[in-house]
Amino acid sequence: MRSLMKKTFVITSLLATSVIFAADPHWTYDEPWENLSNTTTPTKASDLPYAECSLGQKQSPVDLNTAKAVTSTNALKTAYKSESLTVVNNGHSIKVNLPTTTKSVLAIGSEQYTLLQYHIHAPSEHVVNGRASAAEIHFVHSTPDGKLAVVGVLVDAPATAKKNAEFQKILDVAPSNLTDTPALIADPTKLLPSIAKFYLYSGSLTTPPCTEGVNWYVLKTPIQITPAQLTAFEALYHDNARPAQALNGRQVLAK
């Protein structure tokens, strides 16, 4: 009986791994994503899991220069906690994962979103009038029913900047390989500027599968890191930024 259970577990695990692999082809920033497949002769929609990256009409990031000023929109309120986090190198960026028990939340009006993870792009993905910032940090949140909200923090790296202690915590433990997962005690709040003013629009994930239905809040006020800190991150990842996508009739709002 024990032998049968062990065999069943192994087969189930292999099947699960196969399914995940089949639905998740490897991608890089140097190639079109919509045609990637794990089969040599795709014949159905599920063979092209990243098709939405090209077919979607509400893709991210975007150029924020056409933003329309508004005064009445839900305010943002963060209640992030200092806790033990896990830092991973996922092959595309350095990502900081929160524990499943986290109490770190973002309130948008009366709705609460739990902070799942945050990660870094260099240069920034969102641009203003075609101009990119040195980097951008994405704070990814979700509601229990799966609604997504991402807060984007633009990062400048002027010669006059002082070392950013919270950003340095990530750099100090950021793994250069895909297997190490060091722990980090950190408070994500310390990576946030003022959240009173922001750009708001409806978009997507900026990496495959480019899922749409994401509410984006890109903060107007940037944070700063030193040029040396930017160089240290770029030694791990640089140009891990998707170009700005067409608005296709969407409106960007600015509070």
Strands 253-254 and 68-69: parallel
Q: Is 92 an annotated catalytic residue?
A: yes
**Distance (Å, rounded) from C-alpha 62 to C-alpha 250?**
10
Q: For tokens 């009739």, what's the residue?
A: 249
| Active-site entry in 92, 119, 121, 126 | 92
Catalytic machinery residues: 92
